[in-house]
């Protein structure tokens, strides 16, 4: 919703809060078979992508999310080689994952090719690594893709989805998590964006419960700033098989040879200690 | 500004972004000699205080700010006994500071008594410690208070002010910082709220420059989530005399006997490593 000609404001019913940007106009729009994608030009945040009216990313602040859904999980796994990204059509997560030289192949499976078409046009920096020979871009149903994935074939599954409504809904339940569990090797890790740790702790608990029903035994929720999402504070939740640790390869992280804007080994160490009020509210 | 009857939306001109809350009505308002203070009831965030239309705090999320402007600086100082808070009329910072048993006296000097009157009525939990015998509440000009402070008498000065416009303007320049420098002991520390580390790095650099002109030699900016402030990501900046360290009393912090909702020793360690993009932009 645009409340007047100069500001794009999204009202988040579930959190009772709103976030918006000053815009100079609409650059592009497309109605895909799945959703309406719009691109706006902002005065201070670069380009803004919305899907069905929901703010997805801005040029200015997407690095928080893309770094935090990628680097913590990849430095937690001992030696990630085979990675699957479900969703992630803007290709920003793919770019971060491919910074890890040990990763041998990444399949990105987003249901909507138009998200990637729009990203190539309006967020070209996120698509820098789309032609990496290790990358495969598929446009298909992520639920079906995971269900058909060979058992024990994947090191890390990254669920980089929209909210648990609309096309993203099937990515937040036991059936989907069972597919992920089966596709992952014994030391494999699932990571999924898990909404606001300030206002949506109930949802995070529901995710953990469903993941647990699917067989996952250990969980860790990592918070980080994400200005364009409700409350400006967001999270990813990692899940491992059995009673596993979330200690990470600290020396490798500290010695990483690629640049990041937000992620550091020290930050990673810090977020492993869950803020007291979040810890008190989380199950499992 | 209220864009319709159910949402209170603040448009931040300087960052080109907006944040707002769903409200059920206005609970109170007062025009003080300095500013207009209003209290709204929200659907999900408790009460909301605005000053001259700018969102100051909500019941739900003020703990981030109050904890992060208090505990890092107090655990950085070797043995803080004498603390001065400039601004801070909502008394939330005072409450956090008084959790430190070693603190012997705290003077809170806010120019506007009506902020505290409104806090007592609508955020009573923040005023829990106002009657602590170690606390002194003054309603006076903070610039004058610091200028008249005996030299070398203070361990920690906390500048918990509004933005550098209006009544808060005089708290962001060399003259004020010179008063703080003089009032602080040699191992004293100044800490001040320093706006968004995503969008207002120029302001943080200006603050550091002015602090440097006043004699301060070492600076550390600590970021933290603050959903109700522009970009949802905020910061405090610490300044010390000479070439001083920002290492903190980690063992004391880890063994603290009081509760916090967000602050932990691990978090403190993590935020001491400045995010790479912030570090690249900061001077000094």
pLDDT tens per residue across span B264-280: 999 999 999 999 999 99
- Tens digit of pLDDT for each residue in B132-174? 999 999 999 999 999 999 999 999 999 999 877 777 788 989 9
Q: Of A257, A230, A265, A205, give the one whose Cα is nearest residue A65.
A: A230
- Residue B73's φ and ψ, nearest 5 degrees, are -65, -40
How far off is chain A from B41, nearest CA to CA, in Å? 12
How far off is chain B from A31, nearest CA to CA, in Å? 26
- Tens digit of pLDDT for each residue in B95-141? 999 999 999 999 999 999 999 999 999 999 999 999 999 999 999 99
pLDDT tens per residue across all 284 residues of chain A: 444 459 999 999 999 999 999 999 999 999 999 999 999 999 999 999 999 999 999 999 999 999 999 999 999 999 999 999 999 999 999 999 999 999 999 999 999 999 999 999 999 999 999 999 999 999 999 999 999 999 999 999 999 998 777 777 889 899 999 999 999 999 999 999 999 999 999 999 999 999 999 999 999 999 999 999 999 999 999 999 988 999 999 999 999 999 999 999 999 999 999 999 999 999 76
8 Å CB contact between B160 and B85: yes
Q: Count how many Cα atoms sit within 13 Å of the Cα of residue A252 in the half-sphere of its side chain.
A: 16
Q: Of B201, B224, B275, B281, which to mutate for an interface test with A (greatest number of A Cβ within 10 Å)?
A: B275
User: Looking at the partner chain, which of A20, A198, A272 has a beta carbon nearest the beta carbon of B18?
Assistant: A20
Instruction: Tell the residue number behind the tokens 């206005």, with chain if given.
Output: B26
- Tens digit of pLDDT for each residue in B38-89? 999 999 999 999 999 999 999 999 999 999 999 999 999 999 999 999 999 9
pLDDT of residue B5: 59
> Can you read off the two tokens belonging to residue A109?
């499976």
Please, what's the largest Cα pairwise distance for chain B? 53
Contact residues on chain B for A48, CB-CB shorter than 8 A: none
Q: Is A212 annotated as a binding residue?
A: no
- Tens digit of pLDDT for each residue in B16-31? 999 999 999 999 999 9
Residue of A nearest to B223 (CA): A225
8 Å CB contact between B58 and B228: yes
- Tens digit of pLDDT for each residue in B190-245? 999 999 999 999 999 999 999 999 999 999 999 999 999 999 999 999 999 988 99
Residue of B nearest to A13 (CA): B22
Q: Is B161 annotated as a binding residue?
A: yes
* E strand segments, A111-211: 135-139, 154-160, 184-193
Residue of A nearest to B266 (CA): A270
pLDDT of residue B223: 98
8 Å CB contact between B106 and B136: yes
The answer to whether B243 is a known catalytic residue is: no
Question: What's the rounded Cα separation, in Å, for the pair B196 and A117?
Answer: 32
User: Looking at the partner chain, which of B16, B21, B264 has a beta carbon nearest the beta carbon of A43?
Assistant: B16
Q: Is a pLDDT exceeding 80 seen at residue B284?
A: no
Per the CB < 8 Å rule, is B270 touching A271? yes
**What is the dihedral angle through the alpha carbons of B273, B279, B168, B22, rounded to the nearest 10 degrees?**
-70
Catalytic residues of A: 160
Q: Of B47, B232, B253, B265, which to mutate for an interface test with A (greatest number of A Cβ within 10 Å)?
A: B232
Per the CB < 8 Å rule, is A270 touching B275? no
Q: Is A76 annotated as a binding residue?
A: no
> Can you read off the two tokens belonging to residue B229?
């402030």
User: Looking at the partner chain, which of B44, B268, B276 has a beta carbon nearest the beta carbon of A199?
Assistant: B44
Q: Of A3, A11, A8, give the one whose Cα is nearest residue A24.
A: A8
Residue of B nearest to A63 (CA): B277
pLDDT of residue B257: 96
pLDDT of residue B2: 46
Q: Is A100 annotated as a binding residue?
A: no
Full-model pTM: 0.96
Q: Of B154, B173, B172, give the one whose Cα is nearest residue B163.
A: B172
Strand B47-51 to strand B54-58: parallel, antiparallel, or no bridges (unpaired)? antiparallel
Contact residues on chain B for A21, CB-CB shorter than 8 A: 16-18
Average pLDDT in chain B: 95
CA angle at B102 for the pair B101 and B104, rounded to the nearest 5°: 100
Question: What's the rounded Cα separation, in Å, for the pair B168 and B170?
Answer: 6
Strand A82-87 to strand A154-160: parallel, antiparallel, or no bridges (unpaired)? parallel
């Amino acid at each position: 919703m645009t409340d007047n000609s100069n500001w794009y404001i999204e009202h988040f019913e579930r959190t009772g809060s709103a976030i918006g940007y000053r815009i100079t106009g609409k650059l592009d729009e497309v109605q895909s078979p799945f959703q309406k994608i719009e691109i706006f030009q902002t005065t201070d945040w670069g380009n803004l992508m919305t899907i069905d009216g929901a703010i997805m990313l801005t040029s200015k602040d997407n690095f928080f999310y893309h770094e935090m859904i990628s680097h913590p999980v990849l430095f937690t796994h001992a030696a990630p080689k085979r990675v699957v990204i479900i969703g992630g059509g803007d290709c920003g997560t793919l770019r971060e994952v491919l910074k890890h030289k040990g990763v041998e192949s990444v399949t990105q499976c987003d249901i909507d090719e138009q998200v990637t078409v729009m990203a190539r046009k309006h967020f070209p920096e996120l698509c820098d690594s789309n032609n990496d020979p290790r990358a495969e871009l598929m446009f298909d149903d992520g639920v079906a893709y995971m269900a058909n994935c060979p058992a024990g074939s994947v090191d890390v599954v990254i669920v980089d989805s929209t909210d648990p409504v609309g096309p993203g809904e099937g990515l937040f339940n036991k059936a989907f998590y069972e597919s992920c569990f089966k596709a992952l090797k014994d030391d494999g890790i699932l990571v999924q964006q898990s909404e606001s740790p300030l206002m949506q702790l109930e949802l995070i608990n529901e995710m953990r419960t469903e993941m647990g029903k699917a067989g996952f035994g250990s969980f860790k929720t990592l918070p980080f700033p994400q200005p364009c999402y409700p409350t400006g504070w967001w999270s990813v939740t990692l899940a491992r098989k059995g009673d596993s640790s979330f200690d990470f390869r600290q020396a490798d992280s500290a010695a990483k040879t690629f640049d990041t804007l937000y992620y550091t080994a020290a930050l990673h160490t810090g977020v492993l200690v869950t803020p007291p009020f979040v810890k008190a509210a989380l199950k499992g």
